[in-house]
Structure 1
Amino acid sequence: MLAGLDDALARLDSAAASPNPDDAIITTLVHVALAQRGLPRLWQLESRHLREQDRAAVLVRATRITRHVRRAIRSRRPELSAAEVDSLSWCALSVAVSPAYHRVELPLPMAAHVLRATIRAVITTDLSTAPTTAARAESKSDQPLGPELDRGQRRERILAEAARLFTVHGFPDVSIHDIGAAAGVTGPAVYHYFDSKAGLLDVIVRSHDASIEDLFDETAIGALSPTAALATLTRGFVQFGADEPDLLAITVSETRHLPAAAEHRYRSVRQEAIARWARVLSTARPELAPPIARMLIRALTTVVIEAVRNPRLSRRGDLVEVLVAVGHSIQSTPAVRAHYPTLLRQP
């Protein structure tokens, strides 16, 4: 991780010294992200196993990378506050690294073109409509335990604490006793609700899948126009992420620990959700080729998944409104024209 980040920083430092640093920084960031697609996923999966000083060294380098992005944003948007520049810089970085978590359908030169256009769209996001509030509401897992919990409440508490522990420590390093202690029950009592730790993880992932399915059902039931459907999907997904950040994090880092059939089921659900959302986007914007629409939705979901777990962003009281605005900008990215006619006609 350190070697990869040092290489990225060296290239960004060189870009910042070029005659046109703003464009050079964005272009370099995208090229580095595509060349080192394994690096963000390695960080997501394994950083919690680093020694504290090594983890700090990685975070320092990541912050230095965002400093270059902030410079490009400040140059283009001098009217923004420092907090707004910081938020947009992290969102732009998430767009750049989004191919680390998804299959890249496009040829790399075209993928780079789409990512650059998407980052520029993010940088131009109008944040003036996002209301400012003092602090975010508590998530469900932050709520204090009452003196008595009925069976249903206790089961939900076990699920919430397991999701949090799996996200922080990783599935292999969390025991049933750890989950029970966090939920206020004995370790063996967890088995009254779940057959095994793997079964508990499966229930958590199924809960995520059901929430996403409910979101699409809400859009379909409303018989919304494509534009209104996009707005509903975006706000619904952002709100879900803000309310259940651990559920989203688990889908990135822990599904590999599911039994093979369950992992395959989840991957199918995720791919179908991306495809359905992209079809709505293509309907609203027929000038967008389907593979590009899917790439934009993958970028949007990556921004949300990373933002709700990023302390620099999650403390914002207006986090939901900021991410909704960024999501709208991503889906409004100008159409990319390139000489790949066969690929662009793919459904």
Structure 2
Amino acid sequence: MVTRTDATTRREQILKEAARLFAERGFHGVGVDEIGAAVGISGPGLYRHFAGKDAMLAELLVGISGQLLTGGKRRVQESDGRPDALLDSLIEGHIDFALDDRPLITLHDRELDRLRDSDRKLVRQLQRQYVELWVVAVREQYGHLSEPEARATVHAVFGLLNSTPHLSRPGSLPGRTAMAELLHRLARGAFDAAGA
């Protein structure tokens, strides 16, 4: 997915616009000409960057799954063995994804089945590894939770955080900082309630 740098590459621009358009109108509702127009190149010009729409979708969904896992692993390494700090850091990272990459959540919900089997299996594998980071962190923070309880709670919190595309129009929500703080309190509250 799009790297958080000042200068994005043409490929990253294409992916960002493809994600937005696919989320708005569905994978089959968008043509390569429309994606090209959104980034100022001809539809056929996209083929210099991607084999087609299927390749864009795969890179978007595999890419974000890989980024979440890589970010989660980095947060584990930076936690210095403090379970509370690790859990807060994981929550913050996932909130950044939920607020900044909303089209990818919609894409995952609607279009995952359109991926080739190998790409879909890779997405699922990356997601399972990401969930495992959270399960370990939750059990370190709340030692009496069983593995199934921790896993269920992690998935429930993901449901909460990943609900952002289904909220009302972005302009009617609190500002980004306030929304991030609210989501963090809700997620931490869910974990605290499960661990009580």
- Establish whether residue 271 from structure 1 lines up as the match of residue 128 from structure 2: yes
CA displacement at 1:244 relative to structure 2: 1.2
Q: Which residue of 2 aligns with 1:287?
A: 144
Task: After superposition, give the CA deviation of every residue in 1:35-78 in whole Å (9 maximum; x if it has no partner).
Answer: xxxxxxxxxxxxxxxxxxxxxxxxxxxxxxxxxxxxxxxxxxxx
Q: Distance in 2 between matches of 1:316 and 1:265?
A: 35
Q: Which residue of 2 aligns with 1:17?
A: none
Task: After superposition, give the CA deviation of every residue in 1:311-344 in whole Å (9 maximum; x if it has no partner).
Answer: 25673111111101111011112448xxxxxxxx
Q: Match of 1:331, as an amino acid? A: F
Q: Which residue of 1 aligns with 2:110?
A: 253
Task: After superposition, give the CA deviation of every residue in 1:255-274 in whole Å (9 maximum; x if it has no partner).
Answer: 11100111111112112211
Q: Distance in 1 between matches of 2:110 and 2:121?
A: 15
The higher radius of gyration belongs to: 1
Q: Which residue of 2 aligns with 1:196?
A: 52
Q: Which consecutive aligned stretches of 4+ in structure 1 deviate over 3 angstroms post-superposition?
A: none
CA displacement at 1:207 relative to structure 2: 2.0
CA displacement at 1:308 relative to structure 2: 4.2
Q: Which moved more, 1:245-254 or 1:161-170?
A: 245-254
- 1:20-99 correspondence runs (5 A): none
TM-score of the two chains, using structure 1 as the length reference = 0.51
Alignment match of 1:306 (pick from 163, 166, 178): 163
Q: Which residue of 1 aligns with 2:185?
A: 325
Structure 2's unaligned 5+ residue stretches are none
- Kindly, what percent of the aligned residue pairs are identical? 25
Q: Distance in 2 between matches of 1:334 and 1:196?
A: 45
Distance 1:334 1:213, change over 3 A: closer
- 1:169-248 correspondence runs (5 A): 169-222=25-78, 223-248=80-105
| Cα RMSD after superposing both structures | 2.0
Q: Distance in 1 between matches of 2:193 and 2:170?
A: 23
Corresponding pairs, count:
187
- Establish whether residue 316 from structure 1 lines up as the match of residue 174 from structure 2: yes
CA displacement at 1:300 relative to structure 2: 0.9
Q: Distance in 2 between matches of 1:270 and 1:174?
A: 27
Alignment match of 2:12 (pick from 139, 156, 162): 156
Q: Distance in 1 between matches of 2:129 and 2:15?
A: 25
TM-score of the two chains, using structure 2 as the length reference = 0.87
Q: Distance in 2 between matches of 1:193 and 1:217?
A: 29
Q: Distance in 1 between matches of 2:70 and 2:174?
A: 27
Q: Distance in 2 between matches of 1:334 and 1:290?
A: 12
Q: Distance in 2 between matches of 1:211 and 1:194?
A: 20
Structure 1's unaligned 5+ residue stretches are 1-139, 141-149, 337-347
Are the aligned partners of 2:139 and 2:145 in contact in 1 as well (CA < 8 Å)? yes
CA displacement at 1:191 relative to structure 2: 0.6
Are the aligned partners of 2:19 and 2:60 in contact in 1 as well (CA < 8 Å)? yes
Are the aligned partners of 1:176 and 1:197 in contact in 2 as well (CA < 8 Å)? yes
Distance 1:309 1:195, change over 3 A: same
- Secondary structure of the residue aligned to 1:251 is helix
